[in-house]
């Protein structure tokens, strides 16, 4: 609730350069940012079991025994379109959808899906039902979520390579993202549009930009 700055310190056990024995070091991280919830909601208690030793216990009094750093990093580093697109699982799923949409002069159909983030912070792709030659229906996604998982991106393909078809996202595509209140989650980065040459991003505002060459993303 409001702006907040705090420091979190925790001990790390391990072999460090120059040390001959297993030793403990203290790492510190400083957050400065907007907090949209109560701390005990953002950092729920993982365990109520007593700690084995004092040095294992986090030092910050409010931290309730969190030991995983991923929660902290999510707070301090917002998702970027690049981080989503270049995630190995996401890239593989986009390539799969692209192949399945049978790109070419004739016979293609649009494919698409949502990229969601599960409780462990892993990206997963939930595909939409198969689309038509130049359109695809987006399944319901109230509150920017599917199956209770937050949507961080969406995507669809433009498989028609003929001159009659627009390769880049058209007005309908832009409006569909811009005017959808359920594609405005805090972590939603936008909709990727996969075409033969370029992967575009439609930002939540409806603005379009080129992310990268399709082949560079798929073969890296």
Tell me the β-bridge partners of 27.
Answer: 10
Q: Which is nearer to Zn ion, 72 or 166 (CB)?
A: 166
CB of 158 to Zn ion, least distance (A): 6
Here's the x/- map for Zn ion, 127-166, by CB under 5 A: it reads as: ----------------------------------------
The helix/strand/coil state of 109 is coil
Q: Which is nearer to Zn ion, 43 or 98 (CB)?
A: 98
Residue of closest CB approach to Zn ion: 173
The helix/strand/coil state of 143 is helix
What is the total count of residues that contact Zn ion (CB under 5 A)?
A: 1
Distance CA 90, CA 94 (A): 6
Pairing of strands 145-146, 23-35: unpaired
Closest CA to 191 of 168, 179, 174: 174
Q: Which is nearer to Zn ion, 58 or 204 (CB)?
A: 204
Considering only the stretches 29-37, 123-131, 171-179, 207-215, report the one whose residues sit in contact with Zn ion under the rule CB under 5 A: 171-179
Per CB under 5 A, 191 contacts Zn ion: no
DSSP code for 104: B
How many CB atoms are located within 10 Å of the residue 99 CB? 13
Considering only the stretches 9-17, 138-146, 172-180, 204-212, report the one whose residues sit in contact with Zn ion under the rule CB under 5 A: 172-180
Q: Which is nearer to Zn ion, 134 or 150 (CB)?
A: 134
Distance CA 151, CA 134 (A): 24
6 phi and psi angles, rounded to 5 deg: -155, 165
CB of 169 to Zn ion, least distance (A): 6
Q: Which is nearer to Zn ion, 143 or 175 (CB)?
A: 175
Q: Which is nearer to Zn ion, 111 or 173 (CB)?
A: 173
Whether the CB-CB separation of 176 and 119 falls below 8 Å is answered with no
Considering only the stretches 54-62, 81-89, 167-175, 194-202, report the one whose residues sit in contact with Zn ion under the rule CB under 5 A: 167-175
What are the residues whose beta carbons fall under 8 Å from the beta carbon of 31, sequence distance 6 or more? 4, 5, 6, 7, 8, 72, 75, 76
Candidate list 173, 174, 198, 217; residue touching Zn ion; CB under 5 A: 173
Q: Which residues make up the interface to Zn ion (CB under 5 A)?
A: 173
């Amino acid at each position: 609730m409001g702006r907040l700055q705090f420091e979190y310190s925790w001990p790390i056990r391990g072999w460090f350069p120059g040390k001959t024995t297993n030793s403990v070091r203290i790492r510190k991280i400083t957050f400065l940012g907007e907090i949209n919830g109560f701390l005990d909601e953002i950092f729920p208690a993982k365990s109520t079991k007593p700690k084995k030793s004092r040095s294992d216990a986090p030092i910050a009094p409010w931290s309730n025994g969190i030991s995983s750093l991923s929660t902290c990093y999510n707070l301090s580093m917002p998702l970027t379109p690049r981080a989503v697109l270049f995630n190995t699982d996401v890239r593989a799923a986009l390539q799969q959808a692209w192949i399945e949409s049978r790109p070419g002069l004739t016979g293609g159909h649009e494919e698409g899906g949502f990229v969601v983030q599960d409780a462990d912070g892993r990206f997963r792709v939930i595909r939409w039902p198969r689309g038509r030659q130049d359109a695809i229906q987006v399944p319901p996604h109230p509150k920017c979520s599917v199956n209770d998982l937050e949507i961080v991106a969406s995507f669809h393909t433009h498989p028609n390579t003929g001159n009659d078809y627009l390769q880049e996202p058209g007005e309908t595509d832009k409006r569909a993202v811009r005017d959808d209140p359920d594609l405005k989650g805090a972590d939603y980065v936008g909709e990727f549009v996969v075409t033969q040459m370029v992967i575009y991003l439609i930002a939540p505002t409806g603005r379009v930009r080129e992310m990268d060459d399709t082949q560079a993303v798929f073969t890296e």
